[in-house]
Amino acid sequence: MKKYLLLLVLFLQFGAISAQQNVIDKIVAIVGEEIILKSDIENAYLQEQGQGLVSSSSDYRAELLERQLVQKLLMAQAQIDSVSVTEDQVEEAVNSQIDYMISNIGSRERLETYFGKSVEEIKDDIREPLRERLITEQMQQKIVEKIRITPSEVRKYFQRIPKDSLPEMPDRYELQQIVLRPHISDAEKERIRDRLREYREQILNGEQSFNTLAVLYSEDPGSAARGGELGYISRNQLDPAFAEAAFGLKPGRISKIVESEFGFHIIQLIDRQGDRINVRHILLQPQIAEEEKEEALHRLDTIRQFIMEDKMTFEEAAMYFSSDKQTRNNGGLYPDPQTGEARIARANIPGEMAREINKLQVGEISQPFVSHNERGQEEYKIVKVKAFYPSHIANLEDDWQNFELMLTQEKQMDLLEKWVKEKQAETYIHIDPEYQNSKFRYDGWVK
């Protein structure tokens, strides 16, 4: 379950995007061997100002500096603990941020005009700050992952909240889904394999470089522009079939064709560092024939009819038929993608699913519809509204998970605060006189 830790929310700094702002630069802080520049703080300020996030605090720039100080401590520990993220994770975050910016400013063209850069150039500017943010979030999770909460602690936590301070809970749902991914014909798979065999032969014969073919033909948007290179990653960050092939290679060698949940690949090992490897790959994804799409929709319709006629329950159908590994063994229960809770807030339901939910009452099942997973692959679903919880003042009986999460976050914040103070004591830190009288959350920055 993702935990969104309010203490250490790390907002994205755009660096070069705001380079047009005239800031007389200087070093405002040193953490270990890392520096923080005045321009880093100003860029972060402009970014948050543009999103309406700047508070009325007179010392807001000091708050931004403290976030970056904490981030430097987390990055240093992440390097020691070999915490990393995949290129796919970074690219997904980059695309999400660009989509968010476009939705705020109105259009892709207005975004490019505002920054005086193409969207691709903006992506290049935000990619590394985003990578750092993702790594620090993982490092935070590693620090707090052993925290456990007991039922008695949740009850005591609820009892000490003043009744007039209890939050109002929004409309929430319990949703179930059955997902079918269309069959891919043997002929289509063979067509993809033939293309990859051809690319592999061209590389082995010296006719083309792996980098060039990846740029030209790979269908992995996260790595194609970099010649298919993924960067250093560990085994558990990869699809199992991909990992088995990649970790079995010697540097410079090229794998045979590998089938993963993403499609078909050829892989080249670049380097190995301990339990991490750097590889490049070419990904090709089979095309789904129209008749296979129609077959998936027809099959879903038949499954829906079985459930409607009480020949099987939705839970049984999900277990027997659903292609989604994450939900089929849990009766098809679809958790909130933001919190991992069983009850999902209306605002967090993905658009394609939300449109279907709006047509349903509790207990009803949607007609089959087209959806897209997090990798952009087409799939087909039916969804059921298992339960609906209207907005209300929070109570322990209906909102146990929320209070458990609130207490967990409180404990996480306490543990992170303790961790930061320990790292402050053992790390060289220098703060510029401009900020030495600022009101920081932690007292240990100025020594």
Distance CA(264)–CA(331), nearest Å, equals: 30
CATH 1.10.4030.10 in the chain: give the residue spans. Answer: 6-148+406-445
Q: What is the pLDDT of residue 55?
A: 62
Yes or no: domain 171-183+289-390 corresponds to CATH 3.10.20.30: no
The residues pairing with 378 across neighbouring beta strands, listed in sequence order, are 372
CATH 3.10.50.40 maps onto the chain at 171-183+289-390, 186-284
Fold type of domain 6-148+406-445 = Triger factor/SurA peptide-binding fold (1.10.4030)
Q: Are 266 and 220 in contact (CB under 8 A)?
A: no
Q: State the Cα–Cα distance between residues 393 and 81, nearest whole angstrom.
A: 42
- The CATH code for residues 186-284 is 3.10.50.40
169, 394 Cβ separation under 8 angstroms: yes
- Distance between CA 280 and CA 227 in Å, rounded? 7
Encode pLDDT of 234-258 as tens digits: 887 788 999 999 999 999 999 999 9
Instruction: Tell me the CA distances in angstroms from 428 to 152, 361, 437, one per residue in order.
Output: 41, 60, 19
Structure tokens given for 241? 């079939």
131: Cα within 13 Å, side-chain hemisphere: 17
Angle (nearest 5°) at CA 410 between 405 and 412: 90
The pLDDT tens digits along the chain (447 residues) read: 333 232 233 333 444 444 444 557 899 999 998 999 998 888 778 767 655 666 656 688 899 999 999 999 999 999 899 888 888 788 888 887 887 777 777 777 888 888 888 888 888 888 888 999 999 999 999 999 989 999 999 999 999 999 999 999 999 999 999 999 888 889 999 999 999 999 999 999 999 999 999 999 999 887 888 899 988 888 877 889 999 999 999 999 999 999 998 899 999 999 998 888 999 999 999 988 899 999 999 999 999 999 999 999 999 999 999 999 889 999 999 998 877 888 999 888 988 899 999 999 999 999 999 988 776 678 999 999 999 999 999 999 988 988 998 999 999 999 999 999 999 999 999 999 999 999 898 888 987
Angle at the Cα of 445 (from 444 to 447), degrees rounded to 5? 80
pLDDT reported for residue 118: 85
Whether 196 and 423 have beta carbons less than 8 Å apart is answered as no
